[in-house]
Chains A and B, each alone.
Chain A
Amino acid sequence: MTTTAVSGPTETSPVPRRTRRPIAHKKAIAIFVLPFGVLFALFYLIPIGYAVYQSLLVVEREGTFGQATEVFGGLTQYILVFQNGPFWQSVGRVLMFGVVQVPVMLGLALLFALLLDSPLLKGKRFFRLAFFVPYAVPGVIAAIMWGFLYSPNLSPFSLVTENIDFLSAELVLWAIANVVTWVYVGYNMLIIYSALLAIPTEIYEAARLDGAGQLRIAWSVKIPLIIPAIVLTGIFSIIGTLQLLAEPQVFRSFSSAVTSTFTPNLMVYSTSAIPNINLAAAFSVVLALATFVLSFTFLKFTQRKDAK
């Protein structure tokens, strides 16, 4: 009932206003946009511009301790990026991570959201909070906690961890995937759940009149209606996957299998520690572009499906 009341006036009002006093509006728009615009430029456009600028420079020097001068080097750093084996291995690693972890995480988030939304479940408030609590734990703390849980000697479940080495080269990627899933399921669940709450209840009534059970409603009514929310969480997750840093960084001190080039962002971090800022900037730009391309491909792909 409330949703129809809200959507009423917004549909009709803006049309006549727009033609009446255009100049005043433009100023108002400028003023309203200004705070965002300034922050956007300061913390987004300028840093990106600076990174791109840095990535186009190369260092020149003479002698073993010669003065460094930065000169324009065109795409020299980018050539190094494309020749860098460990970087592309790390990209491959996080892609594999994403292909497995994102569907599992979003599947769980969807399942929990549907359960919370279903009239069959008791104690919704408790479960909503319980699922969400891991997200309130800072990522680094979560990683340290899981690091101890996995540890062969210090784990409270050492009977298991002594026999299965979760920190070995074969398993550590999935051990990290588990940490990420644990942290972010609740967050994604909440986005999906709020989309579920926005569905008008009349639709359920109609479905029930047509003889649909809870499962059928979930599958044929709820899921199609919340696809945009799932796509959104999908994009967030793809971005998050490519930018994995905190968890693998913490796991470096728990596992011998996590190297300084384990994920693309760790690679950027260790390159900037050399310090080779120009190359690190080039890595970052390539990574940002890859993230951009992947997110938009995903969006286009899902939207096309939608249109049909």
Chain B
Amino acid sequence: MHTPKRLGAIALLATTAIVLSGCSSAGDSEDSGSAAASCEPATEAVELTFTSWIPGIEEVVDVWNAENPDIQVTVQTGPNGNSGTYQNFFTQLEAGNAPDLGQIEYDALPNFRVQDGLVNIADCAGVADAQEDFVDWTWSQVSFGEEDSVYAIPQDSGPMALFYRSDLFEANNIAVPTTWEEFATAAEQVRAAGGYITNFSQNDVNQFAGLVWQAEGSWFENDGTNWTVDLTGDESTTVADYWQDLIDRDLVSTYPGWTTEWDNAYNTGEVWSWNSAAWGANSIISGAPSTAGNWSVAASPQWEAGGESSGNWGGSSTAVFTGSEHPYEAAQFAMWLNTSDESLTMLNESAQIYPAAVAGLELPSLAAGVDFYGGQAIYDVFSEASGQVSSDFVWGPTMTQTYNDVSDGFKAAVSGTGTLSEALESAQTSTIDALKAQSIPVAE
């Protein structure tokens, strides 16, 4: 009878050992707090790991590796952030084996910072001085508007503009809308011609946030003591009611974004326009290949005639994760990746990445016409939009949850059992609950 008891004891010991090590690893990470970590170069060659989902990132990393034999980067690719990579990051951080560097969209940065996942690289050589080199609002996203704080290097931005089927608009004599009011009128004309002016994607809550951003709204505030959640502000409600009306009148289609159905709707010409980000240029090229040459890009419709406001959808940064042993080298790579001409040119050519670095906006590849868009120099439009993006938009600390909850509500709305405003109201409540559940201070 001794043996089974001993076995049981061993199992128990093993359990407690693992449990304890879980404790201690959580304790270790406490040092790397909000104060900038000291950042010293390593004395010998280092190897870094980097996770990203940009198409063609491997070739860019190959160029770095060829030029920097002492800092070798291994790149791993995955699905885009909210589709799984963020969840992997969080799990890896919990387990203490996150990669050195990862791609994180601006909207997810607060989430990672709250979970103590990011290294403050402000003290790494050249990082703090780089502020001038980036578009203002992107820098305020990675620094959280704080002094001596740099939690990531901005990579690209997603200023929004209107992609539209110029051939179809022209053939049906429909004017390209410059205000949202004109957009609704055009939507009726397009519907009469048998198409949909655009698709309202129930799972692209960050696109919706971009529309609220354009309307000068903001969803979160952080005064240092408390978070404020405001999904139901006037601007959000205006945008929600506007799209609800289009949905109610069957003037927009409601395919879930990034699915084969959705690609198909664009590829077959059922849907005629998409108010999307600069990187969306790549999505249309890959999702609707048979419409090549028929697209153009115009400035987003405005809420007021003659207005000059633009929203932003997505855009990523390169962050150094807690637990990286080589923040100095990691920061050097992140700076090169996001500021060097050769890297930015390659990223733009392979993935239509629109750089966050000011100098990157002058790249020859951005001035050239794009064949798929009938030879139009589409980045001129985005360049203009980029300058019109407000730097006041703040993201919440549990965006994955907020997106999920708003999206669940949007799904109900497009299937006719609720409205977009109700979705925002219920997500407002659930977001506050989610913050409280994690003891994140929130003002009500």
Residues of A within 8 A of B (CB): 26-27, 29-30, 33-34, 37, 41-42, 45-46, 49-50, 53, 58-70, 80, 148, 151, 153-154, 168-169, 252-261, 270, 272-277, 279
List of A residues within 8 angstroms of B144 by Cβ? 65
Interface string of B54-74 (1 = CB under 8 A from A): 000000000000000000000
Given that A46-B15, A153-B264, A254-B256 are contacting pairs, would A67 and B116 also be in contact in the complex, using a CB cutoff of 8 Å?
yes
List of A residues within 8 angstroms of B226 by Cβ? 64
Q: In the complex, A46 Cα to B13 Cα: how many Å?
A: 10
- The reply to whether B256 and A256 form a contact with Cβ atoms under 8 Å apart is yes
> What does DSSP make chain B's interface, helix, strand, loop or mixed?
helix
Given that A64-B224, A253-B259, A256-B414 are contacting pairs, would A274 and B400 also be in contact in the complex, using a CB cutoff of 8 Å?
yes
How many residues in B have their beta carbons less than 8 Å from beta carbons of A?
61
Q: Is B34's beta carbon under 8 Å from chain A?
A: yes
Given that A259-B408, A273-B86 are contacting pairs, would A50 and B22 also be in contact in the complex, using a CB cutoff of 8 Å?
yes
Of A59, A61, A65, A260, the most chain B CB neighbours within 10 A belong to A65
- 9 nearest interchain CB pairs? A259-B408, A275-B90, A260-B404, A41-B11, A256-B411, A30-B3, A274-B401, A49-B15, A256-B415
List of A residues within 8 angstroms of B34 by Cβ? 65
Q: List 21 A-B contacts (CB under 8 A).
A: A29-B3, A49-B19, A50-B19, A59-B438, A61-B439, A62-B441, A63-B225, A64-B440, A64-B441, A68-B114, A68-B115, A148-B260, A253-B259, A254-B261, A256-B256, A257-B411, A260-B405, A270-B401, A273-B90, A275-B87, A275-B115
Q: Is B417's beta carbon under 8 Å from chain A?
A: yes
- The reply to whether B113 and A260 form a contact with Cβ atoms under 8 Å apart is no
Residues of B within 8 A of A (CB): 3-4, 7, 10-11, 14-15, 18-19, 22-23, 26, 30, 33-34, 86-87, 90-91, 94, 110, 113-116, 144, 202-203, 222-227, 254, 256, 258-261, 264-265, 397-398, 400-401, 404-405, 407-408, 411-412, 414-415, 417, 434, 437-441
A-B contacts counted at CB < 8 A amount to: 137
Given that A67-B116, A169-B415 are contacting pairs, would A37 and B401 also be in contact in the complex, using a CB cutoff of 8 Å?
no
- The reply to whether B415 and A153 form a contact with Cβ atoms under 8 Å apart is no
List of A residues within 8 angstroms of B114 by Cβ? 65, 68
List of A residues within 8 angstroms of B398 by Cβ? 274
Say which residue of A30, A67, A154 sits within 8 Å of B33 (CB atoms). A67
- The reply to whether A256 and B401 form a contact with Cβ atoms under 8 Å apart is no
Given that A41-B11, A64-B222, A151-B261 are contacting pairs, would A26 and B408 also be in contact in the complex, using a CB cutoff of 8 Å?
no
List of A residues within 8 angstroms of B18 by Cβ? 46, 50
Given that A273-B90, A277-B94, A279-B437 are contacting pairs, would A65 and B404 also be in contact in the complex, using a CB cutoff of 8 Å?
no
Q: In the complex, A29 Cα to B7 Cα: how many Å?
A: 12
Say which residue of B11, B203, B227 sits within 8 Å of A64 (CB atoms). B227
The smallest beta-carbon distance between B419 and chain A, in angstroms, is 14
List of B residues within 8 angstroms of A276 by Cβ? 401, 434, 437-438
The smallest beta-carbon distance between A275 and chain B, in angstroms, is 4
List of B residues within 8 angstroms of A259 by Cβ? 407-408, 411-412
The smallest beta-carbon distance between A70 and chain B, in angstroms, is 6
